[in-house]
Structure 1
Amino acid sequence: MPRIFGTDGVRGLANGVITAELAVDLGVAAARVLVASGGFTGQRPVAVVGRDTRISGQFLEHAVVAGLASAGVDVLRLRVLPTPGVAYLTDAIGADLGVVISASHNPMPDNGIKFLARGGVKLDDALEREIESRLGEEWDRPTGADIGRVTPYAASVEEYAEHLVGTLDHRPSGLRVVLDCANGAAASVGPMVLRAAGVAVVTINDQPNGLNINENCGSTHLGGLRAAVLEHGADAGFALDGDADRCLAVDRTGATVDGDQMMAMLALDLHERGRLAHDTVVATVMSNLGFVQGMRRAGITVHQTAVGDRYVLEAMREGGFTLGGEQSGHIIMSEHATTGDGILSALHVLQRMARTGSSLRELASVVTRLPQVLVNVPGVDRTRTDDAEVAAAVAVEQDKLGDSGRILLRPSGTEPLVRVMVEAATPDQARDVADRLADVVRRRLAL
């Protein structure tokens, strides 16, 4: 059987790839793996299940819950709650398993199923493979009193909100903010948290109807947020995605503040207070060189990983680091969360603004983003990016750029494609270097 788990659970077209039958089977398989492990403390294992606002989440939630309960797991239904909220409650409640039904920033027709281990951390690859191996197997079904119970957990939003506000030691009272909820899982809890922290909040895209999640809104479409910040004269604007595990911002002039800049602000705040473990922040190789340079000037080391939040998390755990993330706005503050949390990121950026008395624009200026050009070269052998002539061409161009630029060749994980990324002092210089290298890749690696 081919692997169905990707880098972030199982994801695809709802009722096409992600069917009710698959959801039931995944629930059963996950429950059987959990029961077989014997690691639970109660009479039966306990799972929590939450979802975003997609209409398909309703039937998928019922299907996953049915699979879990039929295999002898007690289930607490959290209903609509951001992914980081499910992760938090998995740990806070002491649940043996967490399940998130969401496709994050994907369009509404998609959905996904993601499992969390005890403590609210991502399931490791070995457990995912074991769950896959049990899909469709014959099994002995529990009966009578051994069947799991299903119970609504009514306080999920309030408990998660209380946790988030409790992470602050300096409340950003008096700031005026626009929050784009992406018509997603944070439509209720996002504004609740910011208001509880003393922030004056104008909300947009906070009326989910099951069909409008991420539709021309949220962290992938900042135009509406930009217009609302200017209209209301807000100090800042923050845009979440559908499951609120990422966040991007705009300053009071409407300029975009990306994940690199937000991470820089948070890193400086922790560094100045002696709470940035090992004076290091974890980022992927796609973080802008301007971020790396800004951190270096501040005496902060940047530990870079492959692209993907799972690699950031792995590096943070292995190195004992407290802050990491991606340019996309998926930021992990491990003192307070086990996954990226958009509301948490926004809260702590606002805290930094209030603590320093500086505007978001001023704080973002610690990172001077270098112009970045990305050229996709299709129809090539993505396994041969170590070709000697390609490597030599990259070395020549990097030598010309010196410390003022950066080159990265990234093979696609799924297509015959190589991505050539170049950062340089000017857009024209970046484009020229990228085009020259793309020509070399095209000539040397053509299929």
Structure 2
Amino acid sequence: MAERKFFGTDGIRGLVGEGPITPEFVMKLGWAAGRVLSKTGTKKVLIGKDTRISGYMLESALEAGLAAAGLKAAFTGPMPTPAVAYLTRTFRAEAGIVISASHNPYHDNGIKFFSAQGTKLPDDVELAIEAEMEKPLTCVESALLGKAYRIDDAAGRYIEFCKGTFPNHLSLEGFKIVVDCAHGATYHIAPKVFTELGAEIITIGCEPNGININDKVGATDVAALQAKVLEEKADFGIALDGDGDRVIMVDELGNKVDGDQIAYIIARDALRCGELKGGVVGTLMTNMGMEVALKNLGIPFVRAKVGDRYVMEELLRNNWLIGAENSGHVILLDKVTTGDGIVAGLQVMASIVASKMSLKELSDGMTMFPQVLENIRFKGENDPLQSEAVIAATQAVEQKLGDNGRVLLRKSGTEPLIRVMVEGQNAADVKQFALDIAKAVQENC
């Protein structure tokens, strides 16, 4: 496989105005993608974005590049990442493009591509786009330039799709739900989905202004949701991230219910209904409690590398349907082609309604192991993971944990961070072990 210059495991990301995310780069990217994608089909590309202020600028740059290559751009406006995947299939587009940096702060942004099937682009297509980036930008003749137009009913179409994944014989009537949209792309989608299914909703994080996306709200910071659930005496809360592909829930007592627990609830419900196909894919970060709980139910479980791309690869390899990351990416291949926070949340809600059990009662079936994650900013001059001191600190902790815990050190795929994860049975020990290894990493960065 050729070495990639721009594409990572989750598209292209960076600080706006620096690195790859400049208007000039994005225009060239649109042109290069257009050149590759224009060789077949409709010559139409769907473009969605989250609520970051830079999205308007980057949207225009993409449009210019695609037009120069002779492709039409169909704009959805602010739209969740999974909605773009769905709408790309619905409108028979060559590809879908999402302008978003997902859970990152507003000053970051990124570009993610979907194939005509609503899946991430194959490696050979990404490499072909990178190869085009090396060529001088040229323009098709004037009569062949691409045009742009807006899809006015994009939100309504996706709302109906989401509702269609909730069983027809069930209703959310009588439930009070707090909905946190992270001031992101689901702000005009999620509240309508849950309201139209009968719920009484209270919203937070639904007033985007271009710079408040993911700011102390959403799936990456559920403190505000926890407080609101308790204040409103709600049945539960649901938090989505900036682009809507992650979901974290909060039970009636204010306890966080993460992606591992959500996948466990969905898998157990599928098993109960006789609809489970195969097993569940987690990641290296998946809590050991999920592995143990699934084993007790007789449900197979495998771990993939961290990243929804790798979870998807493992699902396809095993021909399974349920995969998840503890951060809230939950993939349900019988319903969607990528992680979808709203759809995953709806499946948990269906289990709540059908079982007549609370979210806490459902999640109590899985006992979480204490897990501590420390993030150390990584400058890149040295590789601390190769340091003898870091290796020795890690081995010392692993020896103390034995078979009752795990240590995982890895570089983030989206930020310049070294992530140190320690998991075990004793919370105080796990915290100290994580700090010991993090200190060694910090001293050797």
Tell me if both proteins adopt one fold, taking TM over 0.5 as the criterion: yes
TM superposition shift of 1:147: 1.5
2:11 equivalent to 1:9: yes
| Counterpart residue type for residue 53 of structure 2 | I
Distance, in Å, in 2 between the alignment partners of 1:200 and 1:167 is: 19
Of 244-253 and 208-217, deviating more is 208-217
Contact 1:380 1:417 in 2 (8 A): no
Match of residue 357 from structure 2 = 358
Contact 2:31 2:65 in 1 (8 A): yes
Deviations 1:287-331 (A, max 9, x none): 111111111111111110111111001111222111101000111
SS of match in other structure, 2:219: helix
2:69 equivalent to 1:74: no
Q: 1:67-146 residue pairs with structure 2 within 5 A?
A: 67-135=65-133, 137-138=135-136, 140-146=138-144
TM superposition shift of 1:340: 0.9
Match of residue 330 from structure 2 = 331
Distance, in Å, in 2 between the alignment partners of 1:413 and 1:99 is: 20
Deviations 1:1-34 (A, max 9, x none): 9712222111112233311111111100000011
Match of residue 304 from structure 1 = 303
Deviations 1:400-436 (A, max 9, x none): xx3x433334466799987553322211333465577
Distance, in Å, in 2 between the alignment partners of 1:27 and 1:376 is: 34
SS of match in other structure, 1:219: coil
Residues 405 and 96 (structure 1), Cα distance of their counterparts in 2 relative to 1, 3 Å cut? same
TM superposition shift of 1:446: 6.8
Over the matched positions of the two proteins, sequence identity in percent amounts to 41
TM superposition shift of 1:127: 1.8
SS of match in other structure, 2:254: coil
2:230 equivalent to 1:230: yes
TM superposition shift of 1:202: 0.9
Match of residue 255 from structure 1 = 255
Residues 147 and 239 (structure 1), Cα distance of their counterparts in 2 relative to 1, 3 Å cut? same
Contact 1:191 1:203 in 2 (8 A): yes
Residues 424 and 24 (structure 1), Cα distance of their counterparts in 2 relative to 1, 3 Å cut? same
Contact 2:28 2:137 in 1 (8 A): no
Deviations 1:248-305 (A, max 9, x none): 1111111111111111111111122222221x01110111111111111111111101
Distance, in Å, in 2 between the alignment partners of 1:303 and 1:70 is: 45
Which stretches in structure 2 are left out of the alignment for 5+ residues? none
TM-score (norm 1): 0.89
Residues 343 and 438 (structure 1), Cα distance of their counterparts in 2 relative to 1, 3 Å cut? closer
Match of residue 22 from structure 2 = 19
Contact 1:408 1:420 in 2 (8 A): yes
Distance, in Å, in 2 between the alignment partners of 1:222 and 1:124 is: 34
Contact 1:382 1:417 in 2 (8 A): no
Deviations 1:191-232 (A, max 9, x none): 111112222111112111212111111112212111211121
Match of residue 60 from structure 2 = 62
TM superposition shift of 1:338: 1.2
Distance, in Å, in 2 between the alignment partners of 1:384 and 1:85 is: 43
Residues 412 and 331 (structure 1), Cα distance of their counterparts in 2 relative to 1, 3 Å cut? closer
Distance, in Å, in 1 between the alignment partners of 2:223 and 2:394 is: 40
2:185 equivalent to 1:172: no
Match of residue 39 from structure 1 = 40
TM superposition shift of 1:141: 2.2
| Counterpart residue type for residue 75 of structure 2 | R
2:295 equivalent to 1:293: no
Q: 1:169-248 residue pairs with structure 2 within 5 A?
A: 169=167, 170-248=170-248
TM superposition shift of 1:139: 5.1
Residues 260 and 147 (structure 1), Cα distance of their counterparts in 2 relative to 1, 3 Å cut? same
Of 198-207 and 99-108, deviating more is 198-207
Which stretches in structure 1 are left out of the alignment for 5+ residues? none
| Counterpart residue type for residue 362 of structure 1 | E
Residues 247 and 435 (structure 1), Cα distance of their counterparts in 2 relative to 1, 3 Å cut? closer
Aligned residues: 436
Residues 413 and 349 (structure 1), Cα distance of their counterparts in 2 relative to 1, 3 Å cut? closer
Distance, in Å, in 1 between the alignment partners of 2:17 and 2:415 is: 25
Distance, in Å, in 2 between the alignment partners of 1:388 and 1:150 is: 54
TM superposition shift of 1:389: 7.5
Contact 1:25 1:136 in 2 (8 A): no
TM-score (norm 2): 0.90
2:370 equivalent to 1:368: no
SS of match in other structure, 1:351: helix
Match of residue 265 from structure 2 = 265
Residues 204 and 139 (structure 1), Cα distance of their counterparts in 2 relative to 1, 3 Å cut? closer
Match of residue 162 from structure 1 = 160
Match of residue 283 from structure 1 = 282
TM superposition shift of 1:396: 4.0
